Structure 1
Amino acid sequence: MDSTVLWSGDGVLVIGIAAVLPRLEARLHLRAAVREAAAHWLKLGIETISVESTPGSPPRLLLAGRAASLSFSHDEGLSLAAIGLHGAVGIDVMRVQDIADWFHLARDYLGPQVAEALSACTDAQRPLALAQAWTAREAVLKYAGRQLAEWDDAALNCHLQAVETPQNFVAMLATIRGQTRRV
């Protein structure tokens, strides 16, 4: 299964696999694709690259004796991975869709300001705005090594940017401030 490079810059690589697979199978394919992409990107033998994953901790990519940051995200039809050579990364993807209980979801997980901003959107604008806000929050939490939890206003110092994805998806990437230049 082929992966596509969606973004590359300053020691960060984002790849994606567009396929409808059961979640476990998507996870296995994405981990294999990460190894292949990293080997090509860094001109290393694939046998020197492995994915280390421990429940409750962010995954890491082991590259010929050194570790790199790694973040995964899945939604039905699209799986993404971000590799950070110089520090933490966080990636999140979400299908743009109408969510009936959007206000409570936004208030509880995205905070009162986001809930108010979403209330000001038209019904047609809201699904995209909600997906952007949700993926931004998830990417930042992954960057910080935190689990999804109800809203707190803790400031997390990172750079956040959109990643171009196939139609009907939104993705956000969180990186160390200063890692914004594309290569």
Structure 2
Amino acid sequence: MMELVVHAWPGPVPALRDGLFVIGVETSALRERAREQIRLAARTALAAVLSVDAGAIAIDSTPGEAPRIKLAGDEHAIGCSFTHEEGYALAAINLHGAVGVDVMRVQDIQDWDNVARDYLGPEVCAALAAAPAGKRAIGFAQAWTRHEAWLKCHGRQLSEWQAGDEASTGIALRGLPEGLVGHLAMAGAN
């Protein structure tokens, strides 16, 4: 699986693909309110997928840890991840375990080479340097969202690249609003 379609929410029950689904919510709310909106949407969508009452689903969060799904008060191996960009929020659900998701607006970043070198490693930095200038912004956004999704999936904090780190892979997200790029990572696939 190299890409996954984002389901607009609210909408029809998301179709599972290998136990995964991603929903997107357009929002004009500030970050904290957008955070509440996407978590409610995730609970509602998951309830529809599982055919249970949304009130039976809770999403627990502890800073620095991946969110955890509880069904009727019991923690489950269902993975979830959230990401926000101005005007838009995503939730990824993996019925089979850990998942990470990230979205980013494509934009020129003045010091892209320093950021890529420091956080994405020499392989990605070299690929971005070799890319035509008109393609560099989207290439950077793709590399960054792949990396962030991988970090979230593996419960790691952002840190500078170290020898031995490998370029992360990811599943590209399709169906995002124009100007946004996103990726998903799941345990065992990266």
Same fold (TM over 0.5): yes
Instruction: Say yes or no: does 1:69 pair with 2:108.
Output: no
- Structure-1 separation of matches of 2:136 and 2:165: 25
Number of equivalenced pairs: 178
1:125-144 matched pairs, under 5 angstroms: 125-144=135-154
- Structure-2 separation of matches of 1:149 and 1:10: 30
- Structure-2 separation of matches of 1:52 and 1:3: 22
What is the aligned counterpart of 1:44 among 49, 52, 63? 52
- Structure-1 separation of matches of 2:119 and 2:15: 27
Cα contact 1:12–1:82 (8 A) shared by 2: yes
Q: CA deviation at 1:154?
A: 3.1
> Which amino acid letter does the alignment assign opposite residue 172 of structure 1?
H
Aligned to 1:172: 183
1:73-92 matched pairs, under 5 angstroms: 73-92=83-102
1:147-166 matched pairs, under 5 angstroms: 147-152=157-162, 153-155=164-166, 160-164=170-174, 165-166=176-177
**What's the % identity of the aligned pairs?**
46
User: Which runs of no fewer than 5 residues in structure 1 stay unpaired?
Assistant: 179-183
Cα contact 1:159–1:175 (8 A) shared by 2: no
Cα contact 1:59–1:69 (8 A) shared by 2: yes
Q: CA deviation at 1:159?
A: 6.4
What is the aligned counterpart of 1:56 among 64, 67, 71? 64
Q: CA deviation at 1:85?
A: 1.4
Going from structure 1 to structure 2, the CA distance change for 1:121 and 1:138 (only over 3 Å counts) comes to same
Aligned to 1:33: 41
Q: Aligned-residue CA RMSD in angstroms?
A: 2.3
User: Which runs of no fewer than 5 residues in structure 2 stay unpaired?
Assistant: 1-7
Going from structure 1 to structure 2, the CA distance change for 1:151 and 1:135 (only over 3 Å counts) comes to same
Q: What's the TM-score, normalizing by structure 1?
A: 0.89
Deviations 1:95-121 (A, max 9, x none): 011111111010001001111111111
Runs of 4+ in 1 over 6 A off after TM superposition: none
> Which amino acid letter does the alignment assign opposite residue 128 of structure 1?
I
> Which amino acid letter does the alignment assign opposite residue 114 of structure 1?
V
- Structure-1 separation of matches of 2:14 and 2:107: 22
1:2-41 matched pairs, under 5 angstroms: 2-3=9-10, 8-41=16-49
